[in-house]
Every structure is written in C-alpha cells, then in structure tokens.
Chain A
Amino acid sequence: ELKVEQNPLFLSMQEGKNYTIYCNYSTTSDRLYWYRQDPGKSLESLFVLLSNGAVKQEGRLMASLDTKARLSTLHITAAVHDLSATYFCAVDGDDMRFGAGTRLTVKP
C-alpha cells in the first residue's frame, strides 16, 4: 500500500527565511504533485513532477523529485506572508494518495 509522509506538519517561519518541506513515499512512482490550500478553500495545483530529477519553480517555491530516494522537496525561498497556506504532496500510484499536509505560517 502506498504511503505518503510529509514533514513537518506545522511550520512557522519568519518572512525572508528559507525552508524546505519534505515528502516521502513508500512505493515506486514517477508522478508527484504539490497542491496549495488556503483556509476554507479548495486545493490548487502548484507543481506536477513527472520524472526523476524533475525540478519546477514558480516564484519563491521550487519543487524537486528524486524517484530513487522516493522523495520530493518543496523549497521556500525568502518567505513572504502570502505563502501562508497548507501544502500537500500527492503521489500517483493506483490512485492519488495525499500526504497529511504542512500548515505553513509566515510571520512578519
């Protein structure tokens, strides 16, 4: 059974700092997704990573995928308050399996 683990589950950081969210998964897959969810809102697709070594960047967020290590990272550079949200990774096996989410709070 595919398991997806994210850490940390909660992250409080100051504006301007860098941090990384980790997503580990248990079985072979070469399709990994990152989503963002704002409080009370739906999930919005951020990145789709489709192969080993894939790297995608959008603004202050950069996602990467290492299929051999079964690990994806979401790196935040120089955080700003607008990035406060919950971030989910999801791995495509027989179905889409989600991590528990990382609630990010960026403080001034």
Chain B
Amino acid sequence: SQTIHQWPATLVQPVGSPLSLECTVEGTSNPNLYWYRQAAGRGLQLLFYSVGIGQISSEVPQNLSASRPQDRQFILSSKKLLLSDSGFYLCASQGDRGREQYFGPGTRLTVT
C-alpha cells in the first residue's frame, strides 16, 4: 500500500502571510492526488485534485492554489492567508487500481 507524508504537522501563521504545505507519496506511481480541508473535526471539503503532473482541478474558488511539480508531490499554497483558512488539511492519494484512496496524517493550520 501507499505511504503519504505531509509536512508540517502543525502550523501557526498570521493573517496575510504566505502558505506552503507539502505532500509526497511513496509506493505508487502516477497517482491521483487530492487536497481536502476539514473544519471543526467534521466533513471533508475537496479543494483540489490532480490526475497528473501539472494537471490541477479546483473545486472551490478561494485564495488557495495547488501545484504538482513531480509525479508524487502535491503542494498547497497561498499568497495571503485569511482567518477562514484555518483548518485541518489532508492530502490523499488514489493508487494504481483506482479503487483505494489513502490519506496522509494531515496538517493542522491555525491562522491568527
């Protein structure tokens, strides 16, 4: 099975500062990659997904962006954070058979 790494694990950033969250995947090639945000420990909001290098689909319009510079690397960025960007950010990878989607450990972001 796959292993998904996310860093940092926790982050406290002031409003207006930039953001870069990184996700890397081991144990598969050419996976579909996803960024989700989870607020208040409940439902998942799909932010971005990618079916290949340089291919990004955005699900919600906001001040976040995503990039996939390498096959198994997915980056979530922002130029200027808002308070509403606080949350638990999860990266996920959908493997070779397309059936199983695995999640990373998440990054807890607090915008102050």
Q: Bound pair: A and B?
A: no
Q: Which residues of A contact B (CB under 8 A)?
A: none
Q: Which residues of B contact A (CB under 8 A)?
A: none
